[in-house]
Structure 1
Amino acid sequence: MKKVSIITVNYNQPEVTLELLKSLREQDYQNLEVIVVDNGSREDASARINEEYPETITIRSEKNLGFAGGNNLGIRASTGDCLFFLNNDTVVPKGTIASLVDVLHREEETGVVCPVINYFDHPKVTQFAGYTPINTITGRNHAVGYMKQIPVDRLLMESPFAHGAAMMLRRSVVDQVGLMPENYFLYYEELDWGAKITKAGFKIKVDRSVRIFHKESISTGKASPLKTYFQTRNRILFMRRNVRGLRKIAFLLFFTFLAFPKSLLGFLMKREMDHFYSFWNGAIWNLFNSTDSLKLGYKYDQLKG
Structure 2
Amino acid sequence: MLDVGVVILNWNTRDLLRRCLQTVLASEGDFSFRVIVVDNASTDGSAAMVRDEFPSVTLIESEVNGGYPYGNNLGLRALGFRGIGDVDAGAPRYALLLNPDTEVPANALYDMTRFMDSRPEVGVAGPKLVLEDGSLDKACRRSFPTPLVSFYHFSKLAKLFPNSPRFARYNMTFVDPDVELEVDSVVGAYMQVRREAIETSGLLDETFFMYGEDLDWAFRIKKAGWKVMYNPAVVVRHVKRAASRKSKKAQFEFWRAMLIFYRKHYRATTPLWLHGLVMLGLLAKGGPSLWPEMWRPPLPTSNA
2:287 to 279, 285, 290: 279
Alpha-carbon offset, residue 145 of structure 1: 4.1
Summarize the alignment of residues 100-249 of structure 1 with structure 2, pairs less than 5 Å apart.
Answer: 100-119=112-131, 121-137=132-148, 139=150, 142-145=170-173, 150-151=177-178, 155-216=179-240, 222-247=245-270, 249=272
Q: Which runs of 5 or more residues in structure 1 are unaligned?
A: 264-277, 295-305
Deviates more, 1:131-140 or 1:162-171: 131-140
Classify 1:60/1:248 alpha carbon distance in 2 versus 1 (closer, same or farther; 3 Å): farther
1:89 to 83, 101, 105: 101
Classify 1:98/1:192 alpha carbon distance in 2 versus 1 (closer, same or farther; 3 Å): same
Q: Secondary structure at the match of 1:287?
A: helix
Partner of 2:64: 63
Matches of 1:180 and 1:220, distance apart in 2 = 25
Alpha-carbon offset, residue 227 of structure 1: 2.3
Matches of 1:252 and 1:6, distance apart in 2 = 39
Partner of 2:83: none
Matches of 2:244 and 2:11, distance apart in 1 = 16
Contact kept, 8 Å, 2:26 with 2:106, in 1: the verdict is yes
Matches of 2:55 and 2:2, distance apart in 1 = 22
TM-score, normalising length from structure 2?
A: 0.81
Amino acid at match of 1:33: R
Q: Which runs of 5 or more residues in structure 2 are unaligned?
A: 80-90, 154-169
Alpha-carbon offset, residue 34 of structure 1: 0.5
Classify 1:127/1:118 alpha carbon distance in 2 versus 1 (closer, same or farther; 3 Å): farther
Matches of 1:99 and 1:132, distance apart in 2 = 24
Contact kept, 8 Å, 1:138 with 1:251, in 2: the verdict is no
Matches of 2:23 and 2:189, distance apart in 1 = 15
Q: Secondary structure at the match of 2:296?
A: coil
Amino acid at match of 2:15: E
Matches of 2:148 and 2:41, distance apart in 1 = 37
Matches of 2:9 and 2:282, distance apart in 1 = 33
Alpha-carbon offset, residue 59 of structure 1: 0.3
1:231-283 Cα offsets, whole Å, 9 max, x none, are: 2212111100001435163453113445534x4xxxxxxxxxxxxxx62112x
Amino acid at match of 1:237: I
Amino acid at match of 1:229: F
Alpha-carbon offset, residue 180 of structure 1: 0.5
Contact kept, 8 Å, 1:129 with 1:144, in 2: the verdict is no
Deviates more, 1:31-40 or 1:45-54: 45-54
1:71-103 Cα offsets, whole Å, 9 max, x none, are: 000001113211111110000012211121112
Amino acid at match of 2:253: F
Amino acid at match of 1:134: P
Amino acid at match of 1:130: R
Q: Secondary structure at the match of 1:285?
A: helix
Matches of 1:228 and 1:10, distance apart in 2 = 19
Contact kept, 8 Å, 2:9 with 2:72, in 1: the verdict is yes
Partner of 1:14: 14
Amino acid at match of 1:167: M
Summarize the alignment of residues 256-267 of structure 1 with structure 2, pairs less than 5 Å apart.
Answer: 256-258=279-281, 260-261=283-284, 263=285
Matches of 2:184 and 2:279, distance apart in 1 = 26
Alpha-carbon offset, residue 223 of structure 1: 3.1
Contact kept, 8 Å, 2:244 with 2:250, in 1: the verdict is no
Q: Secondary structure at the match of 2:293?
A: coil
Partner of 2:49: 48
Partner of 1:290: 297
Alpha-carbon offset, residue 220 of structure 1: 6.9
Matches of 2:110 and 2:245, distance apart in 1 = 31
Identity of aligned residues (%): 24
Deviates more, 1:123-132 or 1:56-65: 123-132
Alpha-carbon offset, residue 133 of structure 1: 3.2
